[in-house]
Amino acid sequence: MQFALPPRKSPHELPGHHSTRLPLYRRKQLKTVAVIGISIFAFLYILSHIFSSSSDSLSASAGTAGVVIVTVLDRQSFSEGYISKIIANREDYAKRHGYTNFFASVSDYQETVGDAPKSWALVPAMRHALATYPKAKYFFHTSPHALIMNPTASLTSHILDRKRLESLMMKDASIVPPNGIIKTFPHLKEQNTDLVITQDSEGLRSTSFILKNGEFARFFLDLWFDPLFRTYNFVKAETHALDHILQWHPTVLARTALIPQRTLNAYSKDSSGASPNGTYRDGDLIISFPACDKAGTRDCQEFHAYYEQWLKKVKGS
């Protein structure tokens, strides 16, 4: 290659001999210029900081704690009374901890979900919550068939606190119990997690999970809601799609903390399919009634008993 141009040197790479040979007065001049420059820069920086922080506080409407509780209600099949109980339960919890509620309706996403089972609505609803509260830090999905039973436990102290989450995370655990091939990463760290979720005896459960706001959240929800997953005829629709995604897509698995069922999604004692030690005990944050999902709320006797129990708790505190 005899006619290749010699590679050009960029001016930055020139040896810096000149500066050392500058006359003294020149150096002094430079010094003054530098001092003035730096102080102007610092002033502008402080100014911009003041203004940007004030605009931040204006748009940060998602409660003081930056947590949004997302509950998707099926207003066509739930009774008015049932819906008002769920709303009361969430509102009490939000008020205590400075969280914000985002109640979505299945019917809003009907067109988007299409022919797939309507339980898929939770995915666009989460995306909707992200769009509505872009400044919030966490999005906490709760099933419309679940009650928050420990109103005083905040999400931070109960789950999200660094040390707490670190101790809860199940590492090297099968995604599909008891012995699925794909397992959570053994050296996952709390600061690398964007999704906190639980499993029951059969697999992951999307009834309760926490998603950190950010690029991962948007990627994850878009992937989850891909039309080809909705048309695939998974036995458990979006739940099985989630099993599938975590097992085939390591970029999702690597950001996921699997925690024991009872910390986020304890099953009522009449429900089947709880993981070992996954059945509700007093003091647990959430009680979930997965059977109500199938049977419809009218037959859901267990729910009402626990609702009364919760009501007593709230009035007592």
273: contact with other proteins by CB under 8 A = no
Question: Which residue in the set 79, 84, 251, 309 belongs to the binding site for other proteins (CB under 8 A)?
Answer: 251
Long-range contacts of 106-115 (CB under 8 A, 24+ apart): 106/72, 106/73, 106/74, 106/75, 106/76, 107/74, 107/75, 107/76, 113/230, 114/227, 114/230, 115/231
What is the nearest approach in angstroms of other proteins to the Cβ of residue 249? 5
Q: For residues 81 and 223, what is the distance between their CA atoms, to the nearest angstrom? A: 35
286: contact with other proteins by CB under 8 A = no
What is the nearest approach in angstroms of other proteins to the Cβ of residue 6? 9
93: contact with other proteins by CB under 8 A = no
Residue 124's closest CA among 2, 190, 221, 263? 221
Measure the CA angle with vertex 241, ends 108 and 254; round to 5°: 110
Q: Considering only residues 111-150, where is the footprint of other proteins by CB under 8 A?
A: 112, 124-125, 127-128, 130-131, 134
Question: Which residue in the set 226, 270, 299, 308 belongs to the binding site for other proteins (CB under 8 A)?
Answer: 226
8: contact with other proteins by CB under 8 A = yes
The answer to whether 224 and 187 are in contact (CB under 8 A) is: no
60: contact with other proteins by CB under 8 A = no
Structure tokens at 213: 């706001």
Question: With CB under 8 A, what is the number of residues at the site for other proteins?
Answer: 55
Length of the chain: 317
Region of residue 63 (left: phi > 0; alpha: psi -120 to 50; beta: else)? left
Q: Considering only residues 179-218, where is the footprint of other proteins by CB under 8 A?
A: 179-182, 185, 187-189, 192, 215, 218
Question: Which residue in the set 3, 80, 115, 316 belongs to the binding site for other proteins (CB under 8 A)?
Answer: 3
76 versus 192: smaller Cβ distance to other proteins? 192
